[in-house]
Structure 1
């Protein structure tokens, strides 16, 4: 397909696997996407009439494999996708510099909220940052792999800064390992890790929780400058269509900061709760569906 299209993808799957049980000669068997794509596909599914939903879900179930990568997959999205299609998305982790390095198993337990374990022959370690954090073992992921690149073309200084003395590549991603040895990506150290009152918090973790709220369609969490705490946990939310309709009818915000925090207080530690709330019609995203948090941070910081 020339570009991502919610309608086009659902249609392509239905054409691959008609409701009569037949399989097209050019049927799609594998699909891979980023979290935003799956969010959009769920929204498209919800807008269908019951008959079209049944045909779409039936077709999607026939695919052999569905994968997700590029950024952390919120657990609510993973769970809803599984309830619709029967597919527990296969999450894995890689970068241009070394291709794939960590993955949940093709056959075996795919653990939500994690990217799995290192492939055979791949070494992964965490350069632990002891300057702050809300849990042990949080730090930058460093990778050594047979597929690791040699250098950045004609950029020797950048290359030198990107490797440890013993040859591990510094990914720039923060993470930790859970009790089962599965790796959890907490986000880019430069954009997704917030320094709030002595704690280092993962914006992705907070986003995943806020997405569970019934009125929240999309979410972006940033750390904006704060004179008392260093950074303030700021939630930028896009509301579901029904909540937007209610907001227009009642001429007041459909969701307040107090309401959001009251709802989230049993799901997040007190220091992880948002202290600022912004409601937007949509989030600015690039062609891969990612929000450029660095640029957004600069923009919002300038408006304060």
Structure 2
């Protein structure tokens, strides 16, 4: 379902279509009107026209927003560059993407032959004709957990389908004010959090950083929808005043990792509602989403958005039972899926099944209402122990309910007898190993109990707050 049938080829509607021509975005306290944003972006588009790709230093600033929109206007694939990337990472992203220009402050290690410029928000130009909907809009890089980061080719049509599907699922419209403070180089903060308001016609308040006090202040300025990763919601739950300020919000949304049930309950107790969840990845954008107005269920990420299909299969490719318990490999197909990995035809082919479904690499369960529960990554969260297939996420949720445990990560370690033994790494004070193991055995099937509990000072996380289990052990 297209939100804007009067402009089917346009990624961003004009003011006549959206009804909010003056709708503005504000990033880190700096505002800009909609027409000024698109005028400044058109000036960027004129400077980069014809480039094979453009690297954008994705700082949380208006300049980044203008640069990204300028790339989209010009039909030049944008390559978002994390601001904290090091020389080696930058070199890989630039070389692999073929970016011919750098937009943003210039690091000292950039090749002397690579031209660059800094966005001038005061410049204006007329936007060029709308690029083809099948053209590549962005080259977004994967996390690189299985080697060098791969460039996912995201077409314009996927961005439009993704945002229309979520607008429908979340009843997201021009009267909303979205609040978020997430990085502008990932799907969550960039595609949902920046391009979403521009397509829907709603306002955006980007807080610069996702701090509880900044979210609370934005709520007082009329924020109706709030985006956050689990770490953000955990910090908001620990700041009762900020959490209570969000009681005026229409919708709280969590993503990028599983939301602990304890955080959901704590936020709900203070704000009157818990964050609903959604699921996606760089290659597919967001594909599953809990709906606005539905009952929030911690750990459940909803059903496929319009234009997307999902299936869960076992090791033999057969559908798992729809009982909400049986787990298998989650596969996706539909309008939001990427066009492949840049320059890696073998990797692209391996990521799809023979009948055209994308292999997400995630393990999930589905119930008879088509609601999905994500267990975790197949490579690290599906544990095969004693002939049983066990999901790490289910055990982690139970561990977080144990008094004194603040964080938990469950992994499978090689075991001669069991194949893999279940081991839990926990953060907390006065954790008694035997008591915790017995607790889990009493809450779940006995075979799902950890065989060892290891207390650590902290769990390793990446920039998006996801636990890096490969660093445990």
Residues 105 and 116 of structure 1 are in contact (CA less than 8 Å); yes or no, is this contact kept in structure 2? yes
Which residue of structure 1 lines up, in the alignment, with residue 212 of structure 2? 10
Note if 1:195 corresponds to 2:352. Answer: no
Partner residue of 1:35 out of 196, 215, 230: 230
Residues 129 and 138 of structure 1 are in contact (CA less than 8 Å); yes or no, is this contact kept in structure 2? no
CA positional deviation for 1:8: 6.9
Note if 1:112 corresponds to 2:298. Answer: yes
Q: For residues 70 and 15 of structure 1, what CA distance do their matches in structure 2 show?
A: 24
Residues 16 and 59 of structure 1 are in contact (CA less than 8 Å); yes or no, is this contact kept in structure 2? no
Partner residue of 2:330 out of 141, 163, 166: 141
Please give the per-residue CA displacement for 1:225-284, whole angstroms capped at 9, x wherever unaligned.
212111111111111xxxx3xxxxxxxxx2222111232332111111111111111111
Runs of 4+ in 1 over 6 A off after TM superposition: 133-136
CA positional deviation for 1:94: 1.2
CA positional deviation for 1:137: 4.5
Larger Rg: 2
Q: CA RMSD in A?
A: 2.5
Please give the per-residue CA displacement for 1:153-175, whole angstroms capped at 9, x wherever unaligned.
11000011011122111110111
Note if 1:226 corresponds to 2:428. Answer: no
SS in 2 for 1:265: helix
Instruction: Kindly report which structure 2 residues correspond to 1:170-189, keeping only aligned pairs within 5 A, or say none.
Output: 170-189=359-378
Q: For residues 394 and 251 of structure 2, what CA distance do their matches in structure 1 show?
A: 26
Which residue of structure 2 lines up, in the alignment, with residue 294 of structure 1? 470
Which residue of structure 2 lines up, in the alignment, with residue 258 of structure 1? 434
**Unaligned stretches of 5+ in structure 1?**
18-22, 46-52, 245-253
Residues 128 and 137 of structure 1 are in contact (CA less than 8 Å); yes or no, is this contact kept in structure 2? no
**Count of residues in correspondence between the two structures:** 266
SS in 2 for 1:143: strand
From the superposition, tell whether residues 120 and 16 of structure 1 become closer, same or farther in structure 2 (CA, over 3 Å): closer
Please give the per-residue CA displacement for 1:25-78, whole angstroms capped at 9, x wherever unaligned.
xx44322122222223323x2xxxxxxx4x434312122321111122222221
From the superposition, tell whether residues 275 and 99 of structure 1 become closer, same or farther in structure 2 (CA, over 3 Å): same
Residues 366 and 372 of structure 2 are in contact (CA less than 8 Å); yes or no, is this contact kept in structure 1? yes
From the superposition, tell whether residues 108 and 171 of structure 1 become closer, same or farther in structure 2 (CA, over 3 Å): same
SS in 2 for 1:88: coil
Q: For residues 35 and 8 of structure 1, what CA distance do their matches in structure 2 show?
A: 11
Partner residue of 2:313 out of 104, 127, 141: 127
Note if 1:56 corresponds to 2:242. Answer: yes
Which residue of structure 1 lines up, in the alignment, with residue 33 of structure 2? none
CA positional deviation for 1:130: 5.4
SS in 1 for 2:300: coil
From the superposition, tell whether residues 159 and 16 of structure 1 become closer, same or farther in structure 2 (CA, over 3 Å): closer
Please give the per-residue CA displacement for 1:117-142, whole angstroms capped at 9, x wherever unaligned.
111221111122259x9987421111
Note if 1:79 corresponds to 2:281. Answer: no
Residues 237 and 243 of structure 2 are in contact (CA less than 8 Å); yes or no, is this contact kept in structure 1? no
Segment drifting more, 281-290 vs 7-16: 7-16
Q: For residues 335 and 421 of structure 2, what CA distance do their matches in structure 1 show?
A: 41
Q: For residues 58 and 228 of structure 1, what CA distance do their matches in structure 2 show?
A: 50
Residues 110 and 116 of structure 1 are in contact (CA less than 8 Å); yes or no, is this contact kept in structure 2? no
Which residue of structure 1 lines up, in the alignment, with residue 347 of structure 2? 158
Please give the per-residue CA displacement for 1:174-202, whole angstroms capped at 9, x wherever unaligned.
11211322111111000111111111111
From the superposition, tell whether residues 107 and 288 of structure 1 become closer, same or farther in structure 2 (CA, over 3 Å): same
Partner residue of 2:255 out of 69, 72, 82: 69
Residues 276 and 298 of structure 2 are in contact (CA less than 8 Å); yes or no, is this contact kept in structure 1? no
Q: For residues 263 and 210 of structure 2, what CA distance do their matches in structure 1 show?
A: 20
Q: For residues 365 and 293 of structure 2, what CA distance do their matches in structure 1 show?
A: 23
From the superposition, tell whether residues 108 and 178 of structure 1 become closer, same or farther in structure 2 (CA, over 3 Å): same
TM score, norm. by length of structure 2: 0.53
TM score, norm. by length of structure 1: 0.80
Q: For residues 8 and 91 of structure 1, what CA distance do their matches in structure 2 show?
A: 17
Which residue of structure 2 lines up, in the alignment, with residue 50 of structure 1? none
